[in-house]
Amino acid sequence: MSIYACDWASIREATERIAGIVHRTPVMTSETLNRLSGKQLFFKCENLQKVGAFKYRGATNAVRKLSAAKAARGVVTHSSGNHAQALALAAQVRGIPAYIVMPKTAPAVKKAAVEGYGGLITLCEPTLADREHTANELVAKTGAILIPPFDHPDVIAGQGTTAVELLDDVPDLDAIIVCVGGGGLIAGCTIAAQSIKPGLRIFGAEPSGADDAARSKAAGQWLPQTHPNTIADGLLTSTGQLTWPVIRDRVEHIFTVSDEEIRSTMRLVWERMKLIVEPSGAVAAAVALSDAFRAITGVHKVGVIFSGGNVNLDKLYW
């Protein structure tokens, strides 16, 4: 029995459960980025996933795992980002309702995307307390099942399938770099990767303007996110009660990068790799290119996860 909310068995089951529904995304390489990093980099392209982000894995696993009786009641979440779209599509594919609580300030393009996937939106004030209150009201009113964005065993297990595919394609990696927001992706990928290849080194990547995981890791205790300020809008939240213990125990180090590093890496990936990555999606690559990571010894072949590619094309970032 795992001491964590998610274990290797549940990730293996998730891999089978979502097969054929979720894209198996490609792994790409770039000689230019290899040269700049001094390493061999292997990019897992979740920017090419359905809904444009890894979030579809966790949402699909959680929705498909529900019994027929529970699924018929629908699902509910609060999110203004990729999880909202992911849960809406996962529910649509299963033919059940998805009730999505979004802040009134959410961009119109994100609301339109959620509605396009069949999500039923309820708007609320742009505070976490109001989001949670509104979601709980919907659960009470509809009987729908709450599926939060990251702090949920089935969501974490689904995100872990990213590392299963990456190591299937590139089995001899020395390390993997994963961005950290709520921690669902890095928690799932860490458990999966170190189950497949014990001793594999896992590094986290955070914006310096939203560095709660790095601060928590340095302090040896969970510290909340305070006044985050970064271009990487998908990484603004604190790590969760279920995700933090995995980061605390199993992730070697959390590197931070500035918004300028994120922006320049994002542009480099667009120009050289011809891949659209969002700011949050470029954070792990920015770490791979940093002087601090270059100084790590014993690491030559590195997996880097492009977590998403949902950008506002009306606003170029440089």
Question: Is 258 tagged catalytic?
Answer: no
Q: Model confidence at 316, in pLDDT bands (50, 70, 90)?
A: confident
Residue type present at position 216? S
Tokens linked to 144? 């729908």
Count of CA atoms in the C-beta half-sphere (13 A) of 17: 26
Q: Model confidence at 1, in pLDDT bands (50, 70, 90)?
A: low
Q: Are 80 and 59 in contact (CB under 8 A)?
A: no
| CA separation for the pair 85, 111 (Å, rounded) | 9
Residue 315 confidence (pLDDT): 77
Nearest-5° Cα angle at 210, 206 to 214: 55
| CA separation for the pair 131, 116 (Å, rounded) | 21
Helices H, strands E: what count in the chain?
14, 10
Evaluate if residue 47 carries a pLDDT over 90: yes
Phi, psi of 231, rounded to the nearest 5 degrees: -65, -25
The string of pLDDT tens digits covering residues 149-166 is: 999 999 999 999 999 999
Q: Which residue among 80, 216, 280, 307 is the active-site one?
A: 80
The string of pLDDT tens digits covering residues 85-116 is: 999 999 999 999 999 999 888 878 788 999 99
Taking each helix axis as running N to C, give the angle between helix 279-288 and helix 259-268, from 0 to 180 degrees, rounded to the nearest 10.
90
Question: pTM for the full model?
Answer: 0.96
Q: Are 196 and 209 in contact (CB under 8 A)?
A: no
Of the segments 101-110, 196-205, 229-238, which one has the largest average pLDDT value? 196-205
Question: Is 80 tagged catalytic?
Answer: yes
Evaluate if residue 4 carries a pLDDT over 80: yes
The string of pLDDT tens digits covering residues 116-145 is: 999 999 999 988 789 889 999 999 999 999
**Ordered domains of the chain (ranges, CATH):** 8-53+153-306 (3.40.50.1100), 56-146 (3.40.50.1100)
Q: Which residue among 44, 50, 55, 111 is the active-site one?
A: 55
Q: Give, as one character, the DSSP assignment of residue 272.
A: I
